[in-house]
Amino acid sequence: MVASRIDGVGVRGVVGCVPEGRETVGDLARRFGEDAARKIAAATGIEERRIVAPGQCTSDLAEAAARRLLDGLGWEPGSLDLLVLVTQTHDQTLPGTASLLHRRLGLRKGAAVLDITHGCSGFVYGLWAAAGLLKAAGRRALLLVGDTTSQLIDPEDRAVAPLFGDGAAAVALELDDSADPMAFDLGSDGTGAPYLAADGGAMRHPDRPPRLFMDGTQVFAFTLREVPGSVRAVLECANWTTDMVDHLVLHQANAQMIRHLGQKLGVSADRTVVALREVGNTSSASIPLALTGSLAEPLASGCRRLLLSGFGVGWSWGSAALAVGPLAVCETVVLPGRKYPAESAAPATPAP
């Protein structure tokens, strides 16, 4: 698509949620050997990943994030006109997970809900969809993104098992005539579908669960081929230069890839966010978790120009340029390792 702008919509708050369960490099070493585990960690920048407990679903993480966000903003659930959920790991085949969260969060009858099945580019796609729909009709919206990718992974597959973690995030949007425009560039290329996929399950292979497959070489080549052009297109649409960007927040897939793209785009290392060491690749939630994990203080204290880009499964990519802050709420909460009342989610403790 041609890069476009949406004006009159402001971001009010962001809350991330990660599960309590962890899998560390030490755990990987017991399966793959110490040398292999350390080499993988050095190459990816991932030291541990957060993993949901048995019985926990994407909706549990999203609900905990949403409740903390609404409470922090003082928003009643009944004041929301729209809920957009982005996930590839739905709780069940139907109804959509957005409908389940409509009920669990207590949204008013008549509020619109929308499920979007997207992965690595999903946060940008969801932000674009939620802002555009809110601009068309409504006043307040809640964007929820998240995946429990660990449920798709063969623990013995060293190509994916050391990389993917579980997480979710909630973002509050509100109409605001004074808000700076958001610029977006989105695209896809379905020829890349076979290279990052989870085949299996009731539809095609009822005898086995879906398992994630990734061709890392193809993913890396696609990223270098498509992402720089998308980022440059959105910068031009926003009338920004790279010098105007306060923080470059890319999909948190791999530390080396993030740093390489930052250099290629001409954004200095101190403005390029790398925030996957303790959570891994959290798919659609990786960008907002990077915001709550690395930029909570600057986003709470003032306005920052953010350059965002998500890319991966599909192939699919999405970039956005927007000014965010000061935010009333920007934090991460932890989902305890069992089913629980969502309002008991505990604030995340700082890493040592």
CA–chain centroid gap for 300, Å, is 19
CB neighbours of 324 closer than 8 A, spacing ≥ 6? 11, 291, 299, 303, 304, 306
Distance (Å, rounded) from C-alpha 332 to C-alpha 131? 23
Instruction: Identify the pLDDT of residue 184.
Output: 98
Any idea where the domains of the chain sit in the sequence? Answer: 4-337
Contact yes or no for 311/120 (Cβ under 8 A):
yes
Environment class of residue 217 by beta-carbon count within 10 Å: exposed (0-12), middle (13-18) or buried (19+)?
Answer: exposed
Environment class of residue 79 by beta-carbon count within 10 Å: exposed (0-12), middle (13-18) or buried (19+)?
Answer: middle
Contact yes or no for 167/288 (Cβ under 8 A):
no
Element holding 3 (H helix, E strand): none
Q: Six-digit token pair at 230?
A: 């998308």
Instruction: Identify the pLDDT of residue 110.
Output: 95
Contact yes or no for 297/264 (Cβ under 8 A):
no
Instruction: Identify the pLDDT of residue 206.
Output: 53
Q: Which amino acid is at 222?
A: F
Distance (Å, rounded) from C-alpha 189 to C-alpha 333? 35
Distance (Å, rounded) from C-alpha 87 to C-alpha 147? 6
Environment class of residue 74 by beta-carbon count within 10 Å: exposed (0-12), middle (13-18) or buried (19+)?
Answer: exposed
Q: Which residues are catalytic?
A: 120, 251, 281
Distance (Å, rounded) from C-alpha 166 to C-alpha 188? 24
Residue 315: is the preceding peptide bond cis (ω within 30°)? yes
Bridge partner residues of 11 (DSSP): 173
The CATH number of the domain covering residues in 4-337: 3.40.47.10
Instruction: Identify the pLDDT of residue 349.
Output: 46
Distance (Å, rounded) from C-alpha 95 to C-alpha 90? 9
Contact yes or no for 162/212 (Cβ under 8 A):
no
Kindly provide the b/e burial profile for residues 270-293, where b requires at least 16 CB atoms within 10 angstroms of the residue's own CB.
Answer: eebbbbbbbbbbbbbbbbbbbbbb
Q: Six-digit token pair at 134?
A: 């809110």
Contact yes or no for 318/259 (Cβ under 8 A):
no
Instruction: Identify the pLDDT of residue 93.
Output: 86
List the chain residues with pLDDT less than 70.
Answer: 200-208, 338-352
What are the C-alpha distances in Å from 311 to residues 125, 282, 308?
10, 12, 10
